Amino acid sequence: MIVEIKKLSDNAVIPIYGTPLSAGCDLSSTIDTIIHPLSRLAVPTGLAIALSQGYEAQIRPRSGLALNHGMTVLNSPGTIDADYRGEIKVILFNASSEPFTIQKGMRIAQMVVAPVIQVEWKETSLLDSTDRQDQGFGSTGL
């Protein structure tokens, strides 16, 4: 699948896959900044994309940043809709007790392109029965 991508900044880095079997490609920052503990920031990537109808791009944390530095994507996964043509920004959140420094070109998140299905809702007064029914959070055990 080919997706058109536009650089909006001289500092923008075209996303790359870390390995041939990687599901996500890395997104990089176009700015130098510091995210303080328990703070969030929309970090620009300097990129805009043109996805085809029926697809979305999911923005997810990088596991190494999450584990080693407490950095996560706050609305994970963030969604880039097929009709959005603006700059991709990553809402990073510092869940650690230490400030985190971001430098231009640093890989800050990963992006996964995935198919989506829009459904047609049919209102009803009765749903089919299941063994689980309305048992929610934690109902299936640890």
Instruction: Tell me the domain boundaries of the chain.
Output: 4-115
pLDDT tens column, 105-115 = 999 999 999 99
Amino acid at 7: K
What's the pTM?
0.90
| 4-115: CATH topology | Deoxyuridine 5'-Triphosphate Nucleotidohydrolase; Chain A (2.70.40)
pLDDT tens column, 78-91 = 999 999 999 999 99
The pair of three-digit structure tokens given for residue 60, joined into one six-digit string: 């997810």
pLDDT tens column, 4-55 = 999 999 999 999 999 999 999 999 999 999 999 999 999 999 999 999 999 9
